[in-house]
Amino acid sequence: MSPQPPARRLRSDSASRPLQKGQQTKAAIVDAALGLATQIGLEGLSIGALAEVMQMSKSGVFAHFGSREELQISVVREYHARFEDEVFYPAMAFGRGLPRLRAMFDNWMKRTSVEIDSGCIYISGAVQFEDRPGPVRDALAGSVNTWLSAMRRAIEMAVAEGHLHPGTDAAQMAFEIHALILALHYEARFLGSPDSLQRALTAFDGIVGRFSTAATPVPETPPPARSRKTTRVATQG
Amino acid sequence: MSPQPPARRLRSDSASRPLQKGQQTKAAIVDAALGLATQIGLEGLSIGALAEVMQMSKSGVFAHFGSREELQISVVREYHARFEDEVFYPAMAFGRGLPRLRAMFDNWMKRTSVEIDSGCIYISGAVQFEDRPGPVRDALAGSVNTWLSAMRRAIEMAVAEGHLHPGTDAAQMAFEIHALILALHYEARFLGSPDSLQRALTAFDGIVGRFSTAATPVPETPPPARSRKTTRVATQG
């Protein structure tokens, strides 16, 4: 496994100047490819299928990517960039420590909730590529590992801030938080269980309670502009 | 979703008398189908592919199942029966309450560990069938729901035995335990993380600690013939 972080997406790289025609076309193709991948799976994505959706010739799509694998990797990078934009960067507005960690989890939950209808490439892709070593699998695993590392760093900061016990095992806590997201996705999307979101929130508070310093109650996040309706029952158990 | 429990498998139904020739053949086909499904996915399973593996004619396989869906459902039932034989029934030998609940989790972990190499139909099948309503999805979801109900009942018994708080939300606790299995599978199988097993055990003890009655320490399971080497660090956090 090579956990190299996927590159930032094209439009961020060139934020200040207009995209050139070729870049615009490529960005539009990647956008359509991502939409297709969430429907039929990253595995099912092909240059032919995409050309049909884009009403382009196969050779036209091929000119931008060169191979099916490169197309799939571009989709992973785009997915990663959107994930960062929705989950990671907004959480940076919160104070270091537990407020930021909680914001990261809340944003992750929000994104997962949306994906209960559409599916999640990190989850479906893991199943599709677990037995297929190669650059697509590496890009997917690298992307997930980058995010899990960010979670661990946020936990370490919460320890440094004195919000969590000095002996907190960041990898352990990140594993447990990741588990909640996987269970939320599985039970809500596949089993249709309506209470999964609340259960994941309750469980998160349970994990934080276990690792938090006894003297410090879990600080409530001061949200810039958000409501967390479900907090009221989140300390049960 | 219809959580009807899949029927017991053929060989248990007729444990005391030898299987008839047709039943033997069918059992052999289901066995091969299960092996094939863990490799290529339940979704990829077809009468044609199976006929090739069995070196039978398509019509020969078709005579036993009648449709691809029926074949897939037979595989789900067989998987369910084996899961019960390995995970559920052996745990019934343990005392009611926490010892039994812990045995169920330990057996589930053991099975998941084996499946880190081979894959798990409940996990891959969820991804493959989450957008495909129909009898195969129903059989899969029904099978998973049957098992999760058994976990909830075991938790309720642990409450009745006084091992867990009277206010324990069994569905909440079962959700959190399920989450650990999903994370173990994801992080060990897809990310290749070597510490996942230990992390799931530690997390289980954390969950039990949160729900257990303060006066009662987590009872150590008196195993009929087993060792739990990892228990020594399992109370961290």
Residue A169 and residue B237: Cβ atoms within 8 Å? yes
* Spatial contact of B201 and B230, defined as CB atoms under 8 Å apart: yes
ipTM reported for the complex, 2 dp: 0.83
Amino acid B40: pLDDT: 85
Q: Which of A141-150, B1-10, B24-33 has the highest mean pLDDT?
A: A141-150
pLDDT (0 to 100) of residue B20:
82
Q: What is the pLDDT of residue B58?
A: 92
CA-CA distance, A149 to A219, in Å (whole number)?
Answer: 23
To the nearest whole percent, how much of chain B has pLDDT over 70? 82
B202/A1 touch (CB, cutoff 8 Å), yes or no: no
Structure confidence at residue B237 (pLDDT): 31
CA distance B147 to chain A (A): 12
Q: What is the pLDDT of residue B66?
A: 87
pLDDT digits (tens, 9 = 90+) for A124-143: 999 999 889 999 999 999 99
* Distance between A193 CA and the closest CA of chain B, angstroms: 10
Residues A108-129 have a mean pLDDT of 92
Question: b vs e for A145-179, b when ≥16 Cβ sit within 10 Å of the residue's Cβ?
Answer: bbbbebbbebbbbbbebebbbeebbbbbbbbbbbb
How many angstroms from the chain centroid is the CA of residue B174?
Answer: 14
- Asked if B237 lies within 8 A of A203 by C-beta distance, the reply is no
Provide mean pLDDT across the span A65-71.
92
Instruction: Write down the pLDDT at residue A17.
Output: 59
Find residues 210-229 of chain A whose CB sits inside 8 Å of chain B: 210-211
The pLDDT score that the predictor gives to residue A2 is: 39
Confidence of residue B236 (pLDDT cuts 50, 70, 90): very low
pTM of the model: 0.84
- Would the CB atoms of A131 and B123 count as touching at under 8 Å? no
Residues of B with Cβ-Cβ distance to A210 under 8 angstroms? 206, 209-210, 237
pLDDT computed for residue B221 by the predictor: 52
pLDDT at site A23: 86
Average pLDDT over residues A48-74: 92
Tens-place pLDDT, residues B85-143: 999 999 999 999 999 999 999 999 999 998 888 889 999 999 999 889 999 999 999 99
Q: Is A132 on the interface with B (CB under 8 A)?
A: no
Domains and CATH numbers, chain A: 79-233 (1.10.357.10)
Calpha distance A107→A91 (Å, rounded):
8
pLDDT at B167: 94
Residue B233 scores a pLDDT above 50: no
Tens digit of pLDDT for each residue in A2-30? 334 444 443 444 445 566 888 888 999 99
Tens digits of per-residue pLDDT, B182-216?
Answer: 999 999 999 999 999 999 999 999 999 999 985 55
Q: Which residue of A has its CA nearest to B131?
A: A190
Distance from C-alpha of A105 to C-alpha of A99, rounded to nearest angstrom: 10
Q: Do A210 and B211 touch (CB under 8 A)?
A: no
Residue A226 — very low, low, confident or very high, per pLDDT cuts 50/70/90? very low
Identify the closest residue of chain A to B38 by CA–CA distance. Answer: A131
Q: Which band of pLDDT confidence, cut at 50, 70 and 90, is reported for residue B174? A: very high
Contact B178, B114 (CB under 8 A): no
Q: Report d(CA B107, CA B91) in Å as an integer.
A: 8
Mutate to test the interface with B, among A117, A186, A198, A201 (most CBs of B within 10 A): A186
Residue B18: predicted pLDDT: 63
User: Bigger pLDDT: A197 or B12?
Assistant: A197
Q: Which of A128, A210, A236 sits opposite B206 (nearest CB)?
A: A210
Distance CA B53, CA B92 (A): 37
For chain B, positions 156-185, list CB contacts with chain A under 8 A: 168-169, 171-173, 175-176, 178-180, 182-183
More confident residue, A237 or A24: A24
Q: Give the closest-approach CA distance of B200 to chain A in angstroms.
A: 8
d(CA B80, CA A57): 47
| Percent of chain A predicted with pLDDT > 70 | 82
Cα angle B186, B189, B195 (rounded to 5 degrees) comes to 85
**Mutation site for A-interface testing, chosen from B127, B145, B205 by largest number of A Cβ within 10 Å:** B127
Between residues 16 and 35 of chain A, which touch chain B (CB distance below 8 Å)?
Answer: none
Task: Summarize the confidence of residues B134-153 as an average pLDDT.
Answer: 97
What would the mean pLDDT of B152-164 be, rounded to a whole number?
A: 97
The three-class DSSP label of residue A207 is helix
Q: Band the pLDDT of A228: cuts 50, 70, 90.
A: very low
